[in-house]
């Protein structure tokens, strides 16, 4: 019976670790998306400034 209890604890710990990694990956994805938007905006402004001259 002790093995079942230990397996349950290990499963719960693994589940928490997976959820934490998913959360971290979502945060990284959001950050990359924002950085890509800012980079695209910078490129667009650079092109506008270039054509304006």
Cα within 13 Å of Cα(18), Cβ side: 6
Q: Extract the residue ranges of the chain whose pLDDT is less than 70.
A: 1
Tell me what pLDDT residue 1 has.
62
Tokens of 22: 């998913």
Residue ranges per structural domain of the chain? 22-53
**Cα dihedral 33→36→42→43 (10° resolution):** -140
pTM of the model: 0.68
- CA angle, 27 as apex, 11 and 40 as ends, to 5°? 150
């Amino acid at each position: 019976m002790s093995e079942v209890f230990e397996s349950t604890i290990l499963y719960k710990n693994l589940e928490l670790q997976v959820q934490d990694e998913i959360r971290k990956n979502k945060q990284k994805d959001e950050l990359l998306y924002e950085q890509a938007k800012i980079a695209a905006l910078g490129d667009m402004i650079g092109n506008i400034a270039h054509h304006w001259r």
